[in-house]
Structure 1
């Protein structure tokens, strides 16, 4: 929708010219004169009135001229990143707008309203009311990206900056273009495969749509030492046959670079595991995380249901140690004698 084209004026037209053309077109398209195509007339009359309402008021016109109809109705960011516009919706009675401008109904000077029956008048005003209510809009499909994270990032928490693309409306309010953005993503401790970081209302948008979300979905990179199962970590220790029989100490370097020395005093048999309580992944109980975008003044959101930092630190899964026993390829005669003496 181009307000200047609707009023048939140039972009540098002054307020007097805009008002004169508005009067001319409002009288031309008043539905009372278009019994055969009243629906079209109501649309035209509404568009003419909306165009006049915007272009005759400097505070709306300056936003429209710089940011288009999208900036006018939904808002936009200026060069300093501040939000401008977004406070205009056309909900006015077109006849009221005309009366405010000229002090009378657009047709009282040459149309006899005494000839209009009450039911006809009611029908006209009902149609105006329906046209003034903005149509319901569906939310645009979200922009979804996988976010591959290391186990270290999911254990310690991390902040990542990720580039992505979205479709946005151009200044004409109709066509779209691709825009590149950068998101600052806060990865919470204990997040896992399938968890999502959601940026609401900053994704794709097209004509007659509510702006969609941007979603980053957590995936997990393969780790050389650990496997993850929910909030537990699984570590496989390699031991010799002698260690399996006589006991040993297993040293494990954790994801936060601590070294655990874990004594194993029982005989290690195939399938044997040892559990170290509280040395697994942090338990992330919060709902999907919402973060702030680098290009937007939106604050970084936090969940009121998230546990306190101390509570988070105290709730971890377990470290499960599995064992692989390395058998000797051969034994010396002396070793065989010793094994025989031991009755093994």
Structure 2
């Protein structure tokens, strides 16, 4: 039996708006990348900790059925796994295991279900799972897919704008691992995009939002990837503009946090605090307005460094009572 952490699971801070437009609790899908274990081992540990049964599909794909939090998928995170099965494909997958992460993907979970992942990450750590900092080429991440509060324009725009304005400070206050900074998977938003977003104002239409996003950052490789939401709301527009595959879903795809699964004291609940802060800023129109004006004042026509804005942004957040609790694992 895989050993899990005996400590009480950390609490997940509720969102400022915990319910969706139908009055149901907003849910969060979780994707955890890790190394050090193969996908079969990971699937079996998921079944041991959360119940259910692990079954192998094609090659590296495993599915854990009937767990306490629903179905879980486990696989090597590479497009090769979707290729037609052949000896060449399987050889390439085996050769890439040293650097290709195993990914755990859950169904959308409520706050209580999220807490059950604490035992799972503890069991995986005890079994030898490796996280972002275990190697220069790892760059493993924790991705959170947070259900939108509604499809109203403001409920899409304001969290995106809040994140864009505080992103530099988030990266400064809680730095991501060097391996992830050097790899392109979580690049920061371009300053030209933030400037254009501010130019739209807080009452922009969905069409205007999508047009600005696709003009300046039509990529999945951002700390906050908005393409899944836009593909859900305007599928043809996104399909025409983006060459890569985009899974449409009404959820913010928050890619910034590291997967530090091998570090004692680390928890998904700590990384969750980053997103809670984004939504708190989005809900505070006075703060959002102040941040926007200060960002424009700080950047001018050309941006040479993001450091000064990170410091100024942090001071404003502190002034409005929106500090980010420092994680013990840092």
User: Could you tell me the TM-score, scaled by structure 2's length?
Assistant: 0.22
In terms of Rg, which structure is larger? 1
Larger helix percent: 2
Larger strand percent: 1
